[in-house]
Structure 1
Amino acid sequence: MSSIAIVTDSTADIPREVRERLGIEMVPLRVHIGGEEYLDNVTLQPAEFYEKLRQSATLPKTSQPSPSDFYEIFKRHTDEGRAVISIHLSSAMSGTYQSALLAQSMLEGEGDVTVVDSKSASYGYGMMVVLAAELARQGVGRDEILERIGRLKRETKLYFLVDTLEYLHKGGRIGRASALFGTLLNIKPILTIDDEGYVNALDKVRGQKRAYARIVELLEADFGSGPVDMSAVVTPGRTEMADELIAVLKERFQVREYNRSEIGPVIGTHAGPGTVGIFFSPAARR
């Protein structure tokens, strides 16, 4: 077992088999829908969630883990002599990072715990968690792990497309008029996450094909013709837009490594079904 434990939360959207293989500890957020409370990616899986979302007249509510949820995991590892690196959803989107910090303070200096604000979401930081776990298993030290995941974050570009503006409107991200206007004119916002961890509309184009072309332009400006690693997160069920975009990118770029995962209930609450996120970074130098 590694001397460093890697902890994250459920919004990293890391596939279960990857978490289990690498020994990544995952603390779930909560989803409240239809009068019931569920644990994100534990008692409510993506496919079931999107079916419930389709049937729900109101937007589900989400809530962060409590500090005690993190404390129990931190304490167990530090009592066994391991350091902890805990990497979480952007603090601009959730109080999850703050809960982890409070749990760290509850240890009162009794353990070596580092809490990282990824300033990202979904597999945009899930890939950082996976890299950290791989390095920890190789015996790499804490400082080098933090430097390597920081470099990966700086080098990664991420773009999201949503199938409908309805859920951004329900979540208060845009006004009703903007949502209606976008739907009527088939406007596709190209979303990204800025350096402070906020979701921003980078561009708006009309129609899916133009959105694909614009993302290709952006990635060509970012990476040129060099080899890249690509990850995609999609919502289960309505994957047509995701499949088309992924095919376009695989044809255009030298993709050395490709990973795909599903957008879980918490992120899906705000993005809605039919969403696709694309993450590009220079080909791995592991």
Structure 2
Amino acid sequence: MPLKFMEKIIIVTDSTCDLPEADVISNNIYVIPCYINMNGQSFLDGVELSREEFFQQLPASNPLPTTSAPGMGTFIETYQRAVDAGATGIISIHISQSLSNIANVAQIAADNFTTIPVKVIDSGQLSMGLGLLALVGAKLANDGADLDTVANAILEKKPLTNAFAKLDTLEYLRRGGRLSAAQHGIVSLLDIKPITKMNNGNSGLEMVRTRRKAYQRLLEIAKELGPAEMVGIIHANAPELADHVKNDIQLIWPNVTPLISMVTPAIGAHVGPGTVCIASIQEYIQKPLLESRLDQIKNRVKEAVAHIPGFSSNEKESNS
């Protein structure tokens, strides 16, 4: 009987994934650093500039830091490093194309790399939303799954993956030109805190008054999404807040232990200190809250009509 060929699939991602270093190492994930351009210098994210150092320098940075994607050559070098480590296939999964061109650069590199198959996946996510999907792939790869199995598993989890965040300040959106001075003045006067949401490449925004109500809204979103199988908490230089979120999230999702990490400078430069984000992969797609409530009302009407004398079963259905 011929021996079965064992595949070795390696997951490659970028530093916007916000995975804790311990999880990157233990799951054999290759992370390509982005470039952080700050105070006239360019740094490799997490290599030449730690995230703690970034947030220490951020308030005095003028203009705001910018980020740039790794070059095609960096991707090819990383893919070759995976081959040298015995890889027979690579999944290269990256931040949503709606936010960055990193996945596009990865695809060009993959098209020019012919040693082994490379599948590039647009995660449709950011931060640990991307990181959790990379972990899904890495765990399967480490169990010996083949390239197609790993890729399909990630693609199945994409629509189930969510990231939602509470911003503590709008100052960095204003400084980055994403909010006018007039808009900033109004929302600051009203003490409005934005809630941002990301799912499968689609972003959303809610405006909530006061920090306390915004925090409560963050927890409400978690409840509305339904049961989770993986969770991450990401903070912008706010570790105590992240611990507080972890305690509350475990009351909502008691069967999972959240990963905790600090946000990448690529995102931190725009959201500013004090931001906290929750990323999760749900067990199934929860019905939208409004649809769920309409179903509840419909069922109550059916129950009420059922007790009205003289209604036939057809009449009951037509009136429901």
TM-score, normalised to structure 2, is: 0.80
Residue type matched to 2:268 in 1? Answer: G
Q: Which has the larger radius of gyration?
A: 2
Kindly indicate whether residue 244 of structure 2 is the aligned counterpart of residue 234 of structure 1.
no
Residue type matched to 1:264 in 2? Answer: T
Q: What residue is the counterpart of 1:272 in the other structure?
A: 272
Gaps of 5+ in 1: none
Q: What residue is the counterpart of 2:295 in the other structure?
A: none
Shift in CA distance, 140/53, structure 1 to aligned 2, threshold 3 Å = same
Selected match of 1:22 from 13, 17, 27 = 27
Question: RMSD in angstroms over aligned alpha carbons?
Answer: 2.2
Q: Distance in 2 between matches of 1:250 and 1:207?
A: 24
Residue type matched to 1:206 in 2? Answer: R
Conservation of the 8 A alpha-carbon contact between 1:242 and 1:274: no
Q: Distance in 1 between matches of 2:66 and 2:215?
A: 31
Kindly indicate whether residue 215 of structure 2 is the aligned counterpart of residue 212 of structure 1.
yes
Q: Distance in 2 between matches of 1:263 and 1:246?
A: 16
Selected match of 1:7 from 8, 12, 27 = 12
Note the 1:1-286 alignment, pairs <5 A. 3-78=8-83, 80=86, 82-107=88-113, 109-197=114-202, 199-201=203-205, 203-223=206-226, 226=227, 228-236=229-237, 238-282=238-282
Paired-residue identity, %: 32
Moved more, 51-60 or 227-236: 227-236
Q: Which has the higher relative contact order, 1 or 2, with Cα contacts under 8 A spaced 6 or more apart? A: 1
- 1:123-173 deviation digits (Å, cap 9, x = unpaired): 011011112111111001122212222232222232111110111222233
Conservation of the 8 A alpha-carbon contact between 2:231 and 2:278: yes
Conservation of the 8 A alpha-carbon contact between 1:228 and 1:254: no
Q: Distance in 2 between matches of 1:253 and 1:86?
A: 30
The Cα of 1:81 is off from its aligned counterpart by: 5.2
Gaps of 5+ in 2: 1-5, 285-320
Q: Distance in 2 between matches of 1:121 and 1:227?
A: 18
The Cα of 1:14 is off from its aligned counterpart by: 1.3
Q: Distance in 2 between matches of 1:209 and 1:259?
A: 23
Moved more, 74-83 or 10-19: 74-83
Aligned length: 278
Conservation of the 8 A alpha-carbon contact between 1:66 and 1:99: yes
